[in-house]
Amino acid sequence: MCTRHRLRCNSTRIACGNILLACNKIKKQLKVNKEVKLYQSNLFSTPFITGIFRPIIFVPEYDFSAKEWDLILTHELIHLKNNDILFKMLLTFIQKLHWFNPIIYFYTKKFYEFCECTCDRNVSAVINKEQRAVYAHLIVKLARDIPASTISVNAFSDKNNKLIKRRICCIMKKTKKSTLRLLLLLHYLLFYHQSLPMGLSLK
C-alpha cells in the first residue's frame, strides 16, 4: 500500500486521450465494470496493475504503438477480471504466516507463473496471429529494458528468461496444445496443494 501511494504521487494520471479511450473500449469488450485509473511514470519499465476495489494500471513512459497499448491494457484488464490480484494477495498473506516453510515460496512462484500464462492464453484467444507476434515481441522488449534497480512487482514482463520462453511458446502455439498444457499445470498445482503440510491448508 505504501509503494502504491508513493507511485501514484510520483506518476502522472492519464485522464484523457487515446489511451483512456482504448482502455474504456477494452473494458466494455471484456465486461469489466470497475473504474480503472491509469498512471504513467518513469519509475518503472513495465506495466502492472494493483488494487482490488480501486484498481490502478501503472504504465512506463514508453512510446508504445496503438496495437501495443491495446495488448498491454487487455493483459492488465484480464488480470483484473480473473481476480488475480485478490488471489495473489491471499497467497502472499499465507506465505507471510508460513515464512519458515520453503515449500510455500516455491508454490507462490508457480502460482504467479500460472497466472501469467493463463492471462497470456486469454489474451491470445481474442487476437489474431499477427497480433500474437506483436504481443510476444512486446514481452521480450520490456524484459530487455528492465533495469536491475526497477521496483519489484508482479508485472507485464520480467527478467525470468525461462518463464518468458514458456509464455511466448504458449502465445504462439495452437489452442489445443495450450489447453493440454493448462490441464497438466492445473493437475500439478492441485496435486501439489494436496501434498502441502496441514498447516498450509486454506480451510
* pLDDT for residue 5: 85
* pLDDT for residue 56: 94
Rounded CA separation 1/100 (Å) = 24
* pLDDT for residue 198: 38
Contact 119, 84 (CB under 8 A): yes
Of 40, 8, 121, nearest to 74 by C-alpha is 121
Q: What is the CA radius of gyration of the chain?
A: 17
User: Which three-class secondary structure state does DSSP give residue 31?
Assistant: coil
Digits of tens for pLDDT over the chain (203 positions)?
788 888 889 899 999 899 999 999 999 999 999 999 999 998 888 899 998 889 999 999 888 999 999 999 999 999 999 999 899 889 889 988 989 988 888 888 888 888 999 999 999 998 988 899 999 999 988 888 766 545 445 578 777 788 888 888 888 875 445 555 555 555 555 555 444 443 433 33
* pLDDT for residue 157: 77
Quote the cell numbers at residue 172: 504462439
Q: Is the dihedral of CA 169, 171, 172, 176 positive or negative?
A: positive
Of 48, 57, 46, 55, nearest to 19 by C-alpha is 57
Of 142, 41, 125, 25, nearest to 82 by C-alpha is 125
pTM for the structure as a whole: 0.79
Contact 39, 58 (CB under 8 A): yes
* pLDDT for residue 195: 45
Contact 142, 158 (CB under 8 A): no
Alpha helices in 18-156 (DSSP H): 18-30, 66-81, 84-97, 102-124, 129-145
